[in-house]
A = this chain, B = another copy of it.
């Protein structure tokens, strides 16, 4: 798993390395926009103290968005959201049974006070794109430039969809 710790703006974490084939799509989306990120396995259930520490330190380490993927009783996104003020994006990873419905409900149905920005089952690419949108929502010049990139990306999406219809 590639890891980029220098100047990473997005922390991309997952409960198990078996989630990587799903989560790599988030990494790819970030790379398309030139966003520095780090990727790591941070299991809520197997290394809870490290997980808590990861969330507590995320903002001070310079991360600005966290993307967390997990499956089944997927507690990673919600637990991270409880110890960081950063926006946390949750990706429900589908496991062998129940087709990701358990992952989705475990991530999205958070109690009042602790939001997780949930994307579709297996929707890691959209998690990456949502992170870009968040980084692009700022008031500074860098954000404005990123927003222009996103507008451009949306134009290409349209053109490609249009081309398919011809």
Contact = CB atoms under 8 A, between A and B. Distances in A.
A137 B59 CA distance: 9
Given A82-B44, A111-B45, A142-B139, A106 B164 contact: no
A73 B120 contact: yes
Given A115-B126, A123-B115, A151-B85, A49 B52 contact: yes
Interface in A74-103: 74-75, 78-79, 81-83, 85-89, 94-102
A31 interface: no
A134 B83 CA distance: 16
B123 A119 contact: no
A101 to B, nearest CB: 7
Interface residues of A, number: 92
B113 A165 contact: no
B126 A113 contact: yes
Interface in A103-128: 104-123, 125-127
A129 B105 contact: no
Contacts of A126: 110, 112-115
A137 B87 contact: yes
B165 A17 contact: yes
A61 interface: no
Given A46-B111, A87-B137, A138-B139, 9 more contacts: A16-B111, A41-B162, A45-B81, A73-B116, A74-B106, A86-B133, A106-B106, A110-B126, A113-B125
